Structure 1
């Protein structure tokens, strides 16, 4: 039963890094997902939009936000209030002959103050709809690695990129061999750096960084090699401390 419940999630939880980009929203750094790529993935799972899945707009409105001002002191004047576009959709899909529905909201700034003065975004309704669709798909597990914060770990992203490079390579064997050599080169460089450590704390820091990277790559032999080097080098610093 558990495997059946996670069937969709397991198919769609990993995000293709080709269709992501870093973005800043409200001063916060995020991973932005390409809406068309998510629709393409949904088509792969459910079938064409409008047949295997789709959405209906339930509600659409403009919400008043904070008051905007220009100038300072006696010259300060009101520019009116910000407006945010909000949309509510019912996202539906068909799975094994059964219809499922998810309600979600999408929001986008429509009228706001920028460094150029008051600005309106004519694309706000389209952006809100895309936002709502992406949020609905996320409830089914689409791009779960992004929503779970796993993309914040650079090691996870690098491992995902490596796996996808093999899947998308014209010569898969050549790409596998390239990555094998890259792995060996990395382990050698990590060991060399540890051997050049001047303090025990530096040694442990280099060890921990290498282990994090190799663990993200699910490279257990590599982790063991780094751990062995730590065990070999640590006594030297302990002896120096004792002396």
Structure 2
């Protein structure tokens, strides 16, 4: 029986991979979420923006950051300080006739040093607002799989894409058959690789990668088949070592 408190979370925790992209922020590789797609999902759950959910800007400001410099040694001069745009919002939503509220911040670099010199981002206020809305929705469980780090696991993403392809397919039977055949082809290729492995180490690596991938998809039958084949093929090298 599902937990009533997780009713919203369970509806919105999985992210539609069509609306994500890889991005680098602060030197870190992240999964970037499309703000409009999150609003669309919120509309599906709560109703139109302004009726079923919405937000109010409570505070907006520019925060001073690190000092910027140009040149080296005696020619080093100050360019001033970085500025970051910050917005604080009150996000609200309606569920079962009740109104819920929460507060969240959004931040965006506004004035900063780039390879072209000092740069300003005229879109910073809009980006900060979008950031605050996305963070507010994340507190309700929207795209929880991204925020929980599940998108760092490529097998999770691959499985999610297959689920969404099946859900969105016009011919669901054909898509289901395609995925079944893809699974069988993968298992067959792993078995072939195990049989052709030239060393025990090579075979173990093939086994470990396949089992990890299939276990992530909760495909216990396939895992059992790969493990059985591995144990059978391992005797080749055990016999060689004994000889």
Normalized against structure 2, the TM-score is what?
Answer: 0.97
How much has 1:2 moved relative to structure 2? 6.0
Separation (CA, whole Å) in 2 of partners of 1:80 and 1:196: 64
DSSP-derived class of the 2:22 partner = strand
Give the equivalent residue in structure 1 for 2:26. Answer: 26
Separation (CA, whole Å) in 2 of partners of 1:212 and 1:83: 45
Which deviations, in whole Å up to 9, do the C-alpha atoms of 1:22-68 show, x marking residues without a partner? 00001100000000000000011111111111111111110000000
Separation (CA, whole Å) in 1 of partners of 2:28 and 2:221: 37
Separation (CA, whole Å) in 1 of partners of 2:4 and 2:242: 59
Kindly indicate whether residue 172 of structure 2 is the aligned counterpart of residue 172 of structure 1.
yes
DSSP-derived class of the 1:195 partner = helix
Aligned length: 243
DSSP-derived class of the 1:233 partner = helix
Normalized against structure 1, the TM-score is what?
Answer: 0.97
Superposition map of 1:1-243 within 5 A: 3-243=3-243
How much has 1:218 moved relative to structure 2? 2.2
Separation (CA, whole Å) in 1 of partners of 2:124 and 2:40: 22
Gaps of 5+ in 2: none
How much has 1:239 moved relative to structure 2? 2.3
Separation (CA, whole Å) in 2 of partners of 1:6 and 1:78: 52
Deviates more, 1:207-216 or 1:119-128: 207-216
Separation (CA, whole Å) in 2 of partners of 1:171 and 1:73: 68
Which deviations, in whole Å up to 9, do the C-alpha atoms of 1:114-143 show, x marking residues without a partner? 000000000000000111111111111100
DSSP-derived class of the 1:164 partner = helix
Separation (CA, whole Å) in 2 of partners of 1:230 and 1:39: 48
DSSP-derived class of the 2:197 partner = coil
Instruction: Detail structure 1 runs of 4+ shifted over 4 Å in the superposition.
Output: none
Separation (CA, whole Å) in 2 of partners of 1:16 and 1:51: 24
DSSP-derived class of the 1:142 partner = coil
DSSP-derived class of the 2:32 partner = strand
Deviates more, 1:218-227 or 1:31-40: 218-227
DSSP-derived class of the 2:119 partner = strand
How much has 1:241 moved relative to structure 2? 2.3
Separation (CA, whole Å) in 2 of partners of 1:60 and 1:104: 12
Deviates more, 1:108-117 or 1:214-223: 214-223
